[in-house]
Amino acid sequence: MVKQRIALWDNLKFFLVTCVVIGHFADQFTDVSYVYDSIFLFIYSFHIPLFIFISGIFHKSVNTTEKAIFFISIGFAYKMCSAIVERLLGTVNVEFFLLRDGGISWFMFALAAYTVILKIIEKQNKTYILIFSILLACFVGFDQTIGDFLYLSRIIIFFPFYLSGVLLKDTDFVSLKKNNTAYIIIGAIILFVWLSLCFFKVDLLYGLRYLFTGRNPYFPQIMSFAPLVRISSYIISFVVGAAIIMIMPNKKIYLFSNMGKNSINVYFWHMNVYYILNKVFHVSNLFYYGTLGKLSFLLLAVIISIVLSQSVFSFPIKQIRKQIFK
């Protein structure tokens, strides 16, 4: 019997993976564009935490080994694919780091780690572990050497979101939202306020990007109160993430919901597609053609998300899954 998919989560996944692509596009010019700074800050405040939270909701303590191998395989497949694309595009000295990098492969290695960790703590008090994981995340930023090695910084910092999803997996979010316009109104207000702050107070808030990305140690200016800043970033991510869930439609949306089922395709291919398009067509030059050009550059990110969410791009994900889950 095929389990019926829940439209809310498919809608969220496509929205979030599109935000991932837009965020990566915007990051190409965050040093030179006030607007792109604001967009980046807004997106990074919720998209990865919410994606990981949803992953926690769907966590099941079965086939742990197979799941961990699956995630690790995708992570390394992405690394190898990216190295090949870079070489084909003319990069002479292609960098390949087996156990670290600053790219997007960390997400799969983090999911593998979370799968194993949840199996280990399966019978433990998860509320206690959640509190402990938040405290650990508050202190990990003091380690100036942790960086991207074994993706430890991001694994530790985003783990509370995954465990929160596990703890709330029995919550019927669809029923809570059903016929309740108050949630939509509250969610819309929260998002409007935060988006306004990201645009009009970006100079004050932009330092939070280094906490939202999860890979950076604390910088000297906040050392004396850094754990409070980390807690503040968690609160922002949880509140904004909740607001996104509040306003997201429960019902299946034509095409939109179906594309959410293939969000992993978009994750796997989008950066390499960008590199190819930029090498061949110099698409990043759109940024320099005024407001319309800047909008067109971000619109391209949305188009890429739509195209890559089609089933034809499920290779090699489908092949990896087929070989592992026999």
> Phi, psi (5° rounding) for residue 122?
-50, -40
Say which residues have a Cβ less than 8 Å from residue 324's Cβ, sequence separation at least 6: 66, 69, 70, 73
Any idea which of 27-41, 114-128, 166-180, 236-250 has the lowest mean pLDDT? 166-180
Domain count, the chain: 1
Query: Does 3 have pLDDT greater than 70?
Result: no
Nearest of 137, 147, 131 to residue 227 by alpha carbon: 137
What is the Cα–Cα distance from 168 to 156, expressed in whole angstroms?
19
Sign for the CA dihedral angle at 272, 276, 277, 278 comes to positive
The C-alpha angle 49, 54, 58, rounded to 5 degrees, equals 145
Residue at 318 is within a domain: yes
pLDDT of 128 strictly over 80: yes
What is the residue type of 22?
A: I
Tell me if 215 is assigned to some domain: yes
Per DSSP, the three-state class of 141 is coil
CB atoms near residue 40 (< 10 Å): 26
Compute the mean pLDDT over every residue in the chain, rounded to the nearest whole number: 94
Q: Would 57 be classed as within a structural domain?
A: yes
Q: Is residue 2 part of a domain?
A: no
Rounding to the nearest 10 degrees, give the CA dihedral for residues 64, 69, 74, 79.
140
Distances (CA, A) of 42 to 175, 208, 276: 28, 10, 27
Structure tokens at 33: 């564009």
**Which residues, 6 or more positions from 170, have their beta carbon under 8 angstroms from its beta carbon?**
none
Residue 237, pLDDT > 90, answer yes
Give the pLDDT band (50/70/90) at residue 95: confident
Q: Is residue 1 part of a domain?
A: no
pLDDT surpasses 90 at 222:
yes
pLDDT confidence tier of residue 175, bands split at 50, 70 and 90: confident
Where does residue 110 rank: exposed (0-12), middle (13-18), buried (19+ CB within 10 A)? buried
pLDDT confidence tier of residue 326, bands split at 50, 70 and 90? confident
> How many angstroms separate the CA atoms of 199 and 241, rounded?
18
In a domain, 278, yes or no: yes
Instruction: Summarize pLDDT for 238-247 with one digit per residue, the tens.
Output: 999 999 999 9
Residue 91: inside a domain, yes or no?
A: yes
* Cα–Cα distance measured from residue 255 to residue 261, given in angstroms and rounded to the nearest whole number: 10
> Using alpha carbons only, what angle is made at residue 89 by residues 83 and 90, rounded to the nearest 5 degrees?
95
In tens, the pLDDT along 51-89 reads 999 999 999 988 999 999 999 999 999 999 999 999 999
Give dist(CA 133, CA 156) in Å, integer. Answer: 7
Q: Determine the structural domain holding residue 229 and report its residue range.
A: 7-324
- Other CB atoms within a 10 A radius of the CB of residue 299 amount to 14
SS3 323: helix
3-state helix, strand, coil split of the chain in percent (to 5) is 75, 0, 25
**Residue range 158-176: mean pLDDT, rounded:** 94
Classify residue 143: in a domain, yes or no: yes
Which residues, in sequence order, are CB contacts of 195 under 8 Å at separation 6+? 42
Residues 198-226 have a mean pLDDT of 95
